[in-house]
Amino acid sequence: MQATTDSHAYRASLLWFPDTNSDQIHFEADGLLVTTRGSDGVSRITAIGDYRALQAAHAHLPTTDWRGYWIAPGFVDTHIHYAQTDVIGSPADGLLPWLNDYTFPQETRFADPAHAQSVAAFFLDELMRHGVTTALTFATAHSVSVDAFFNEAQARQLRMISGRVLQDRHSPDGLRDSSAAQSLYETEALIQRWHGVGRLGYAITPRFAPTSSEAQLRGAGELAQAHADVWVQTHVAENADEIRWVAELFPHSRSYLGVYEDMGLLRARSMYAHCLHLDASDRDLMAERGASAAVCPTSNLFLDSGFFDFTLAQSHRLKHGLASDVGGGTSFSPFHTMHAAYTVARQSVGKSGHSLSANHVWWLHTAGASHALGLDGVCGNLNPGCEADFIVLNPNATPLLARRTATANSLEEQLFAMVVLGDDRLIKQVVINGR
């Protein structure tokens, strides 16, 4: 990545969401985007709009001419496991066998710093290749796995969030924490070492309720209350067998989600992956607490876990954003994730279906995802003040895509064609922190 001057202009077609809380897209066929690097080293968008209206005021700036291409916000992935990069595409009969047969053996290797660094480097390069510029990421139950991830993210100047996985029971040797107290001590040390460094953020990360003792979960909740600006990430209500197991382990909690509520882990900046089998009280509680759902459609389809109900999430005002969930998820590509979300939405409410517009699924993977993470106005959009993380799209990336978008009658049709037909070939360029 080459350094730019303090300010830079880009001429291209522009696609963004003027209102962070709305999926209404604004498209400027011939637009100008201006970025400026601040004294903190972060490059932010300072102007966006019609080229003719802005050109005169910014004619003195070095300008990259990308006419014929589209500039859009970088994608935001609300749930992904960097340590499962080498697990993707592994066959399994369901979630729990998949964890035991593939995931846990692979994650034990992350006690080795060299292995963790190698995977982190590949993982982050793969994210960028697919246009993902921010992600909420699981590491493993090894502090060195967090250090490796954040070192590689910092070298790339990425906005990334991650955390050491907490699991002190029902886990194999090499992953099981020696004690709840030690795991929480290491988590506190990692928060102090990494949270807020550059554009990095820390997430308190119980794997899921069955692999944490009550003492570990309560301790995680106490850390979450003491550090209100860090994130919380875990899994909930993904699989029927998992839900039955949680009910056996925590008989006094109202529901699977209720376990986390009882432990003080349900709050703003908490992201719960899957949320497939929640009831109305669960959805209302998440909305009341400001918690969010990470929707993982390719993973849910692959592991036959169920369908996320977008209609109920919207009616209960439950914040949610899209996620790849690699390695249970089957692709790093946001286009595959958006396509799967559209498919799942059609299935989740029976034959009547519930179509998600292309605008909406795109919003759920950019500005909507940043809203779910509590990062409104920071990433996932191109409004002035947002950090300069964006992608350059080639609508003619493949012969079929070029043919289909050329005959589209509206922006919605063009976006929908990209969602259905798109992959990493659509990404011509990725700009990270203005570089």
- Rounded-to-integer distance, Cα 178 and Cα 182, Å: 7
List 427's β-bridge partners, or say none. 393
List 159's β-bridge partners, or say none. 134
The pair of three-digit structure tokens given for residue 424, joined into one six-digit string: 């990493």
The pair of three-digit structure tokens given for residue 376, joined into one six-digit string: 């409104």
- The pLDDT, as a whole number, for residue 349 is 58
- Rounded-to-integer distance, Cα 49 and Cα 32, Å: 6
- Rounded-to-integer distance, Cα 56 and Cα 420, Å: 38
Going by C-alpha positions, the residue among 412, 394, 308 that lies closest to residue 78 is: 308
Complete edge-to-edge strand list for the sheet that includes strand 43-50: 43-50, 26-37, 7-16, 63-73, 390-393, 427-431
End-to-end CA distance of the chain: 6
Quote the crossing angle between the two packed helices 214-226 and 180-194, to the nearest 10°: 20
**Domain extent listing, the chain:** 7-74+381-431, 75-372
- The pLDDT, as a whole number, for residue 403 is 96
Q: Is 328 exposed, middle or buried (0-12, 13-18, 19+ CB in 10 A)?
A: buried
Give every residue of the chain whose pLDDT is below 50, as ranges: 1-4
- The pLDDT, as a whole number, for residue 57 is 97
If one counts every other C-beta atom within 10 angstroms of the C-beta of residue 359, the result is 17
User: Under CATH, to which class is 7-74+381-431 assigned?
Assistant: mainly beta
Q: Where are the alpha helices (DSSP H) in 210-327?
A: 214-226, 240-249, 256-262, 280-289, 297-302, 310-315
Going by C-alpha positions, the residue among 265, 379, 367, 249 that lies closest to residue 319 is: 367
3-state SS class at 201: strand
The pair of three-digit structure tokens given for residue 244, joined into one six-digit string: 């039955």
- Rounded-to-integer distance, Cα 411 and Cα 359, Å: 9
Q: Find all residues with CB under 8 Å of 35, minimum gap 6, and list them.
A: 4, 7, 8, 9, 10, 43, 44, 45, 46, 388, 434
One-letter amino acid of 162:
S
Q: pLDDT tens for residues 226-261? A: 999 999 999 999 999 999 999 999 999 999 999 999
pTM: 0.96
The pair of three-digit structure tokens given for residue 96, joined into one six-digit string: 């729990």
Going by C-alpha positions, the residue among 368, 321, 327 that lies closest to residue 341 is: 321
- The pLDDT, as a whole number, for residue 234 is 98
Q: Where are the alpha helices (DSSP H) in 18-92?
A: 51-54
- Rounded-to-integer distance, Cα 117 and Cα 53, Å: 46
CB 81 within 8 A of CB 327: yes
- The pLDDT, as a whole number, for residue 3 is 41
Quote the crossing angle between the two packed helices 180-194 and 143-155, to the nearest 10°: 10
Going by C-alpha positions, the residue among 123, 128, 216 that lies closest to residue 164 is: 216
Cα 291 to chain centroid, rounded: 15
Q: What is the DSSP string of 34-51?
A: EEEE-TTS-EEEEEEEEH
Same fold, 7-74+381-431 and 75-372: no
Kindly tell me the sign of the dihedral angle through the C-alpha atoms of 423, 424, 429, 430: positive
Pick the CATH number of 75-372 from 3.40.50.300, 3.20.20.140, 3.40.50.920, 1.10.3720.10: 3.20.20.140
Q: Parallel, antiparallel, or unpaired: how do β-strands 165-166 and 159-163 relate?
A: unpaired
